[in-house]
Amino acid sequence: MKTRITELLGIEYPIIQGGMMWVGRAELAAAVSNAGGLGILTALTQPTPEALAEEIQRCRAMTDKPFGVNLTILPSINPPPYEEYVQVIIDNGVKIVETAGRSPEPFMPAFKAAGVKVMHKCTSVRHAVKAEKVGCDAVSVDGFECAGHPGEDDITNLVLLPAAFAKLTIPMVASGGIGTGSQMAAAMALGAEGINMGTRFVATQEAPVHQNMKQAMVDADETQTTLMFRTLKNTARVFKNSVAEEVVSIEARPGDTDFSDLQPLVAGVRGREQCIEGGDIEGGIWTVGMVMGVIDDIPSCDELLNRMVAEAKAVFAEKLASFGG
């Protein structure tokens, strides 16, 4: 499957693994890249820039195919040393970066000088246009269906993708709500030249998360996510468990939400230790998308990608034939 995305990134299939906190590690990234897609390491999963350098080398020992690094740039009282993470990415020869959160503009000169291709994740048309303006090579457009932070506009991909496509000249990747080949075909029909998947890759054999979480995703349907942090204008889509429902109930109280009331419930360390590593799906907050509704197995990454590509090609061929093409 050749698109501008496969040509830009040097990959066989236009399928990208999202950079997920605690999940985007070498085991998963290498498996996706070896299967013909683009695996992504999550920079801030690693506690220090030095640890990221080690993870990059670990991934490189597992695959000779291209892989990238996700760098999520967020406002913070005590921000991570973003410049040091950027330098580690460059020094270790990584040529593909997925940025998210705030604009990557401050880091673009360094990335461009090193020949790094930058793909920025956006939740709105205006952000996608800005990403192109600051020099990004591609954008990943996130619909409201996605796991994690879908932005505050609440626009689903059926509208967001063609709206962004109409304004862009750089290639666009569809992200959010995609887990099958037919959905991949639909996204590409709307103007995308590749897809980005997070939730679907969590439910694979190589994903470094507890089996209980993977099985919970298979067992759940599309209604079993909820939105929290709406009152804080930092909306997050997460698995609908007792902890998430408690967060939502606190936010529903009259008056302004005090984050100190939420912090013990939503702590990232709690979600990682209790859920991702410990397997207690009720033990904390964990992000997941509405695409759970179409996940019914836990394949290898190789099996998943080959199945999706075959299905997408079949959908295109069948529809073209049925329309008299």
Q: How confident is the model at residue 77 (pLDDT cuts 50, 70, 90)?
A: confident
- The tens digit of pLDDT for each residue in 280-298 reads 999 999 999 999 999 999 9
Q: How confident is the model at residue 108 (pLDDT cuts 50, 70, 90)?
A: very high
Look over the chain and give the mean of its residue pLDDT values, rounded to a whole number: 96
* Residue at 316 is within a domain: no
- The tens digit of pLDDT for each residue in 211-239 reads 999 999 999 999 999 999 999 999 999 99
* Residue at 34 is within a domain: yes
* Residue at 123 is within a domain: yes
Q: Which of 206, 227, 247 is a domain's end point?
A: 206
In this prediction, residues 87-106 reach a mean pLDDT of 97
- Shared domain check, 267 and 158: no
pLDDT at residue number 292:
97
The secondary structure of residue 287, as a DSSP letter, is B
Q: How confident is the model at residue 325 (pLDDT cuts 50, 70, 90)?
A: low
E runs forming strands in 136-286? 138-142, 172-175, 195-197, 225-228, 236-239
- Shared domain check, 215 and 199: no
Residue 324 has pLDDT above 80, yes or no: no
- Shared domain check, 152 and 251: no
- Shared domain check, 234 and 178: no
* Residue at 77 is within a domain: yes
| Domain CATH number, residue 38 | 3.20.20.70
* Residue at 296 is within a domain: no
% of residues, the chain, pLDDT over 90: 93
- Shared domain check, 75 and 193: yes
pLDDT at residue number 5:
98
% of residues, the chain, pLDDT over 70: 100
Residue 93 has pLDDT above 80, yes or no: yes
- Please give the helix or strand (H or E) that residue 45 lies within, else none: none
Residue 264 has pLDDT above 80, yes or no: yes
- Shared domain check, 100 and 69: yes
- Shared domain check, 172 and 51: yes
pLDDT at residue number 10:
98
Domain ranges, residue 122: 4-206
Select the more confidently predicted residue: 196 or 316.
196
**Interatomic CA distance for residues 127 and 140, integer angstroms:** 10
Q: Which of 206, 234, 253 is a domain's end point?
A: 206
Q: Please return the burial class of 171, using the count of CB atoms within 10 Å of its CB with bins 0-12, 13-18 and 19+.
A: buried
- Shared domain check, 244 and 132: no
**Interatomic CA distance for residues 232 and 194, integer angstroms:** 32
- Shared domain check, 66 and 154: yes
pLDDT at residue number 164:
98
- The tens digit of pLDDT for each residue in 29-68 reads 999 999 999 999 999 999 999 999 999 999 999 999 999 9
Q: How confident is the model at residue 206 (pLDDT cuts 50, 70, 90)?
A: very high
- Shared domain check, 249 and 108: no
Residue 30 near residue 63, CB atoms below 8 Å = yes
Does this model's pTM top 0.85?
yes
pLDDT at residue number 84:
98
- Shared domain check, 170 and 82: yes
Count of structural domains, the chain? 2
Q: Which of 206, 231, 247 is a domain's end point?
A: 206
What is the Cα Rg of the chain in Å? 19
In this prediction, residues 9-18 reach a mean pLDDT of 98
* Residue at 227 is within a domain: yes
* Residue at 325 is within a domain: no
* Residue at 167 is within a domain: yes
- Shared domain check, 33 and 85: yes
- Strand-strand pairing, 39-42 and 67-73: parallel
